[in-house]
Amino acid sequence: MIVVTGATGNVGRALVERLAAAGQSVRAVSRDPEGAALPPGVEVTRLESVGLFERASKLFLHVQATGDGAGAVLDTARAAGVRHVVMLSSGIIQDGADETHPIHIRHARVEQLVRDSGMEWTFLRPNAFATNAFQWAPQIRRGDAVHGPFAGAASAPIHEDDIAAVAERALLDPGHEGVVHRLTGPEAMTNAEQIATIGRELGRELTYVETPVEEAEATLFPHMPRHMVRAMLKSFAATVGTRPEITSTVEKITGRPARAFAAWAEEHRADFAV
C-alpha cells in the first residue's frame, strides 16, 4: 500500500493515476475525500484518519498538504511500518542557496524531519512547475495582454506528470534510497515566451506586459503571505537574463525526455480557453 498526500493536486493526482494504472494499492489523502474524484479502486481518506498507514510500506509526502503536521505524520508512518518516504521538495535547496528564503526554510525543515525519521528517503527537488502558468489563466480569458513582473524572468518549467513519473519510479523501483533528484523541464523559457506559447496553442497573439515590481508585491498570489511574495519576486528578478538549471533526470529515470512547455500548453489548452 502506498499513501499519497497532496493527492488531488497537480503532481499528486498524476501520481495516483499512474500508480492505480500500474495496479498498485493506493491510499490517497485529501481534506475532501468525497470530492476528490480519483480513479476507482483508490482509497481516499483524511490525514487525521486512524489507520492512515495500515498495511502501508511507502509514503509520498507533500509539504503543503501535511503542513505543520509533517513531523507527526512521519512518526505515525514509521510506527505503522512505512519504510520509504518520497518527498516532493524544492529545487530551491541546493549548495549556495539563500537559506533565509521562506520557501527554502519550509522545505529544508521537512527534509530534515524526513532524514531524522529513520525511514529510507528520496527527495524530489523540482524547479518551476509548468502549472505556475495557471496564474495567468484569468487574464488570458479576459484579453490578449497579460500583465505581470519580469517579462524576461527565465525558468525551465516542468510538466507535473514528469514529476509524477519520477515519483512513481522512486516509489516502485529499488535504488532511489538516500538519493536527491533535481528535476526541470527541457528548455529555458521566459515569462514572455510562455505567454506567447500559450497564445499559439489558443490561436491568439498574447503579449506579456511587464509591470512594476511594486505593483506585483501588492497583488501577486493574494493567498500567500506578503513576505513570501517579496522573497519570490526577489528570486524571479535574479533569473532575468540568466540560463536556468536544466537537468536530464526525468529522462534518465523514466526513459522518456521531459516534456516541453508547448506540449504542456497543448494538453492544458482548455484551462486557458474562454
Binding site for ligand NAP (CB under 6 A): 6, 8-12, 30-32, 36, 62-65, 67, 88, 90-91, 126, 128-129, 131-132
Nearer to ligand NAP, 223 or 243 (CB): 223
- Supply the minimum distance, in Å, between the C-beta of residue 92 and ligand NAP: 7
* 61 or 212: CB nearest ligand NAP: 61
Cβ partners under 8 Å of residue 226, min gap 6? 217
Shortest Å distance, C-beta 236 to ligand NAP: 11
Residue 83 CB, nearest distance to ligand NAP (Å)?
23
C-alpha dist (Å) from residue 76 to 49, 157, 242: 11, 34, 43
Separation of alpha carbons 259 and 157, rounded Å = 9
**Do residues 81 and 25 touch, judged by C-beta distance below 8 A?**
no
Strands 58-62, 84-88: pairing is parallel
Q: Say if residues 3 and 77 touch (Cβ distance below 8 Å).
A: yes
Nearer to ligand NAP among residue 129 and residue 272 (C-beta): 129
Identity of the residue, 135 or 219, whose beta carbon is nearer to ligand NAP in the bound complex: 135
Rounded to a whole number of angstroms, the minimum distance from the CB of residue 167 to ligand NAP is 10
Least distance from C-beta 102 to ligand NAP, angstroms? 12
Position of cell 521566459? 190
**Minimum CB separation from ligand NAP for residue 112, in Å?**
15
Comparison of 45 and 207: residue with beta carbon closer to ligand NAP: 45
117 within 8 A of 81, measured Cβ to Cβ: no
Q: Which residue, 12 or 149, has its beta carbon nearer to ligand NAP?
A: 12
Burial of 24 per CB tally in 10 Å (0-12, 13-18, 19+):
middle
C-beta of 49 vs 144, nearer to ligand NAP: 49
Contacts of 181 (CB under 8 A, 6+ apart): 122, 123, 124, 125, 166, 170, 249, 253
Which residue lies nearer to ligand NAP by CB, 53 or 236?
Answer: 236
State in angstroms the smallest separation of the CB of 110 from ligand NAP: 9
Residue sitting closest to ligand NAP (CB): 9
Least Å distance between CB 203 and ligand NAP? Answer: 27
